[in-house]
Structure 1
Amino acid sequence: MTMIGAGIPRREDDRLLTGRGRYLDDLDIPGALAAAFLRSPHAHARINGMDLTVARAAPGVVAVFSGADLMEIQKPLAPKVLHPDLDDRPRLPMPPEEVHYVGEPVAVVIAESRYLAEDAVDLIEVDYEVLPAVASTAAALAEGAPTAHSTASSNVAVRIKQRSGDAERALAEAPHTLSEEFFVMRGGAHSMEPRAVAARFDPSISQVTIWDTTQAPHYARQQLSMIYDMAEDDIRVIAPPDVGGGFGPKAQFYGEEVVVPWVAIKLGRTVKWVEDRQENMVSAMMERSQTHHIEVGFDSDGKLLALRDYVEHDQGAYCAGLQVPSITTATVPGPYKIPNISIDLVACYTNMVPTSSVRGAGRPQAVFAMERMMDRIAEYLDIDPAEVRARNLIKADEFPYQVGIMFRDGSPLTYDSGDFPALLSGTLERLDYAEAKAFREGARAEGRHVGIGLAVYVEGCGLGPYEGAKIRLTNRGKLLVTIAAAPQGQGYETVYAQIAADAIGIGMEHISVVTGDTSRIPFGQGTFASRITATCGPAVYQAGQQMRERLLDTASKILGSDALRLEGDRISLDGGDQEKSVSLLDIARVANIGKHGITLPAGIKPGIETSSYFAPARAAYASGAHAAMVEVDPDTGGVTVLRYVIGHDCGTVINPRLVDGQVIGGFAHGIGNALYEDTVYDAEGQPQTASYLDYPLVSAVEVPPVELFHIQSPSPLNPLGAKGAGEGGTIPAPAAIAGAIEDALRPLRARINCAPATPGRVMDAVLAALEGNPRC
């Protein structure tokens, strides 16, 4: 049976649905101490002094440390993605002198319980000198603005440029031009289990074991090795099999991940910290906040001639990495043929939580700006929005297609495969576009405000540098697949068993999968950027092919024949004679266990284990098209999604159930970004949405039914033909829904230039239009 493409139920579901999930907070280590952090209440302040005396004397307190007490680990946390022009402001694990956002950790209490630790945190006295704060990119770039870091001369972190052709000349000569400004909000990633770290030090072997809800355990180990000046082999990082979602922020590296293990080493005790929800709201990394000043040139048929975009990107208090702004600049052109491109991005430091990847990672902002402009072109020329898109899409016979600019992986932006027109036409067909437009017109005649929105996107995924896998025949006669990547709900225990089963030619019941443990596999990168199926998948497949060869070779030496067949867990002579066969357990007993002190039989290679590391030549590109039909109440700003259709292409679909779950889960995230989730700071950098009373997180009630279909354009860049599926549901949703809302409000001439389109923003747009100023 071919396993690739089969809709196998997830192995993980049984334990998750019966309350037997294995989250980090479930880790019960006898005698473990609890950590609690004191966090800055100010967006920007100098620490003049700190009194820990009363806190140290509190009941149950074992130790209290300020940043100044842990100077040996106050080393800058390196950005994940750099740029030669980056003005990097050092991000310390627990800064001893100056804080740069509300929620930054400044001290840690270690106590017998979390309750006692939190009580003691309140007893710490800090002498802060409050400094001017910067709370938006507009404020950061204003003339004479204060700096988010007192030692900096400006708030500019870096400027990134993309060029293809001559956009300035093309815009000057274009028959038509349109320009607009679009804004996309800040938002977080709200995992079921927030960040968490536990650590135990064994002085007898000078090794530390760390349990971490990270998406990248090998990356965490690498960072700790440098900061602690310890050998990597003396640091074991384990990501638990269940963490209730990662969504990007858990792929980053935080000060708490440095402090907790170090304190455990200093005290010689196990220490555990689990972020509470309020901490998560103010201190876990966020994303999205960008302003796009975009201009397009086009002819009278709506054909794009030039694109110019100036982007203000909110980097937050520090640069954890430049992956988001880099991806944004590469995503703006989307699936369209644009001969002349000019994109300038300025990343600004502000006194807010640092920004980094959240599901979509720079793509939703770019798609929002480009797709909204496609709608404006259609309106300007009085051409159907679907037709304007269709006239500009890259065709299926034009792949591989070179866009003319660079992607974040350092390679020229080259779309590997796809069929963008088929995605758009398939989405329109399933929406029944003609009928949908007729329904819209009928509703308008009744005084109702119904609209249709479209969005087409391309997503760079399957990024390098590499990912690896090992497969071992255990001494119990089973096959164990080990991968470095840490799962966040994607179903790794299922899908990589499928891939291995297909490569080896054996049933999944004989295969188990373990993940995210640096002691089990030496090298790895991590789960992020919809990359694992396209990198780890091929590694598992190649290791599986090698394992099949090893098993058959060993069996041939035992049975004295090369004419063999593998069936179930037995290898027999090709005639199927079970009396002349060996089981996997038999092979393990011969090649793995052997007979103590006795020479192996002739030709038997000891140790049945294979490994493979797969490094893609460049990124692969998934794609899709979304269509939304909404109804808007202009008196309240309320939006009801009536219909939603998703066309999706992630290359080869390994497991349709898992892919559908990823896409629809991503769509739920996209609905939140489109209509609800908005992280608000005031002018002093104080968070105003620090609980779910103020931050409306989307629930199952708000997620409408969705019709999903797939086309499969296998990538030529890996042997599975796989691309990414984890973010495609999120990326275009804000653009499609904003377009639908604006279309619904077209009789009022209201503009939707901001995401999310909350009721307040929709009302503001309606009122602005009525006042003759049609803006969001």
Structure 2
Amino acid sequence: MDAIAAYLGKDRTEVRAANFIQPDEFPYDHGLLFQDGRPLIYDSGDFPASLEKLKALVDWDDFERIRDEARAEGRKVGIGIACYVEGTGVGPYEGGHVHVETSGKVKVSTGLTSQGQGHQTAFAQIVADELGVPFEDVEVVTGDTRRSPYSVGTFASRAAVMSGSAIALAARKTREKVLRIAADALETTPEDLEIVNGVVQVKGAPGSRIELGTIAVLSNPLRYAFDEASKAATQFVVGDPSKPPVAEDDEPGLEGRDYYSPPRSTFANGMHAVVVETDPDTAEITILRYAVVHDCGNLINPLIVEGQVHGGVAQGVGGALYERMAYNEHGQLENASFMDFLMPYVSEVPKRIEIDHLETPSPLNPLGLKGAGEAGVIPSAAVFASAIEDAEGFPITSMPISPSELFALRLHHEQKLQEGPHA
């Protein structure tokens, strides 16, 4: 894209904008198959809006003035941009289980496991919203093979889309049973009820109310009064005495289980921009600004998503400017320990990463989610190459790049200029 823009004498963002899939073209069918064996169809997005957000975030339209001022001071600065689309939410399925205890606390489980992505927080938020209970009353367990004997796993930016959707569906089943039992106890209809902070109440008449823990007791028709929740439940009469205490299509307890299996994968997207300075003497590369606009559909927890982006950017900095596997002519790895393998430290990662979100919900799942796992790392090599090219004035065709390699490219470029166009 940058080479095309240079050839046409156009702004790099203008060339990209001319080639974007437009918002009214979604869902966009590529006529190919994705890794899940399903059609490769982009489900949602607004690439022009993302580009405008990124340009504003990084002051793109004003950068030519900044570049000229830096050159007048003998400094080399450049700005780069890269766009990406990421397949996320890959099937085939995940499950979720939600159980309301007689204390009013909610236990949630799912089969996939977590490696620190904040699954427990995000899944608890989903259940708190779906059931109308306080967030702190929800406990989430992952990797529970007793509750979820069937599971696929955590990879491919799929946890929120897959397990999040399954848990939401399970919570909705639980909510339906909550309202059905509460309506019977309060002598009203489920449509007239709402759940607020773990209490079911008649809309517009909060005096007619029943706590979630009490409903959990009523859901299990054993006639006992061993705890406070059970004692509270004895004031209510539930069910038709002429029918069995547990209907044929029901079961005791206040819980729901469901599985979510998507028709196909979701596709997140985003754009990165970076401003770099290259030292005129040593060719050392310094990051001055880094900006990201990311669209992963509806956000459950923006802070968790931003943490994913931060970590990805740090990984991308390493992959673009520092980390590499070095082999000698005999195929022997020469930097197999951290004594020799160069990684970025906190001093090399941008101190501030400017992030903005665009939310175009996916129509493929009940929460409108798309994945976010690799959001920070996908375009890293391309965005740094774009910025270094802009600073130096010659193409960068291989990444990662070190100061010594950039210095050698400078010498080669200067030599070609001295030899002239016909050399």
Is the Cα contact below 8 Å between 1:634 and 1:763 reproduced in 2? no
Separation in structure 2 between the aligned mates of residue 413 and residue 503 of structure 1, nearest angstrom? 31
Separation in structure 1 between the aligned mates of residue 212 and residue 331 of structure 2, nearest angstrom? 62
Separation in structure 2 between the aligned mates of residue 396 and residue 419 of structure 1, nearest angstrom? 5
> Which amino acid letter does the alignment assign opposite residue 308 of structure 2?
Q
Query: Residue deviations 1:59-90, cap 9 Å, x none?
Result: xxxxxxxxxxxxxxxxxxxxxxxxxxxxxxxx
Separation in structure 1 between the aligned mates of residue 77 and residue 193 of structure 2, nearest angstrom? 65
Query: Residue deviations 1:549-605, cap 9 Å, x none?
Result: 111222333444435443333334556465x64333323334348248xxx964554
Equivalent of 1:767 in 392, 401, 411: 411
Give SS of 1:610's match: strand
- The correspondence of residues 104-253 of structure 1 with structure 2, limited to 5 A, is none
The reply to whether residue 411 of structure 1 matches residue 55 of structure 2 is: no
Separation in structure 1 between the aligned mates of residue 317 and residue 166 of structure 2, nearest angstrom? 34
* Residue in structure 1 matched with residue 54 of structure 2 by the alignment: 427
Is the Cα contact below 8 Å between 1:634 and 1:766 reproduced in 2? no
- The correspondence of residues 623-702 of structure 1 with structure 2, limited to 5 A, is 623-702=269-348
* Residue in structure 2 matched with residue 393 of structure 1 by the alignment: 20
Separation in structure 2 between the aligned mates of residue 573 and residue 413 of structure 1, nearest angstrom? 46
Separation in structure 2 between the aligned mates of residue 752 and residue 396 of structure 1, nearest angstrom? 32
Give SS of 2:288's match: strand
Give SS of 1:755's match: coil
Q: Cα distance 1:390–1:565, how it changes in 2: closer, same or farther (>3 A)?
A: closer
* Residue in structure 1 matched with residue 229 of structure 2 by the alignment: none
Cα offset for 1:767? Answer: 2.9
* Residue in structure 1 matched with residue 195 of structure 2 by the alignment: 566
Give SS of 1:566's match: strand
- The correspondence of residues 239-388 of structure 1 with structure 2, limited to 5 A, is 374-388=1-15
Separation in structure 1 between the aligned mates of residue 184 and residue 29 of structure 2, nearest angstrom? 51
Q: Cα distance 1:434–1:414, how it changes in 2: closer, same or farther (>3 A)?
A: same
Query: Residue deviations 1:653-710, cap 9 Å, x none?
Result: 1111111111122111111111111122334333222222222222322111221111
The reply to whether residue 589 of structure 1 matches residue 217 of structure 2 is: yes
Is the Cα contact below 8 Å between 2:335 and 2:341 reproduced in 1? yes
For structure 1, list consecutive stretches of 5 or more residues without a partner in the other structure: 1-373
* Residue in structure 2 matched with residue 721 of structure 1 by the alignment: 368
Is the Cα contact below 8 Å between 2:119 and 2:160 reproduced in 1? no
**Number of aligned residue pairs:** 394
Higher helix share: 2
Give SS of 1:571's match: strand
Aligned identity (percent) is 45
> Which amino acid letter does the alignment assign opposite residue 252 of structure 2?
P
> Which amino acid letter does the alignment assign opposite residue 446 of structure 1?
E
TM-score by length of 2: 0.87
Is the Cα contact below 8 Å between 1:645 and 1:706 reproduced in 2? yes
> Which amino acid letter does the alignment assign opposite residue 594 of structure 1?
L
Equivalent of 1:734 in 366, 381, 385: 381
The reply to whether residue 554 of structure 1 matches residue 201 of structure 2 is: no
Q: Cα distance 1:588–1:412, how it changes in 2: closer, same or farther (>3 A)?
A: closer
* Residue in structure 1 matched with residue 228 of structure 2 by the alignment: none
Cα offset for 1:735? Answer: 0.7
Separation in structure 1 between the aligned mates of residue 200 and residue 387 of structure 2, nearest angstrom? 59
TM-score by length of 1: 0.48
* Residue in structure 2 matched with residue 516 of structure 1 by the alignment: 143
Separation in structure 1 between the aligned mates of residue 203 and residue 267 of structure 2, nearest angstrom? 43
The reply to whether residue 483 of structure 1 matches residue 104 of structure 2 is: no
> Which amino acid letter does the alignment assign opposite residue 617 of structure 1?
P
Separation in structure 2 between the aligned mates of residue 575 and residue 454 of structure 1, nearest angstrom? 53
Superposed CA RMSD in Å reads: 2.3
The reply to whether residue 757 of structure 1 matches residue 401 of structure 2 is: yes
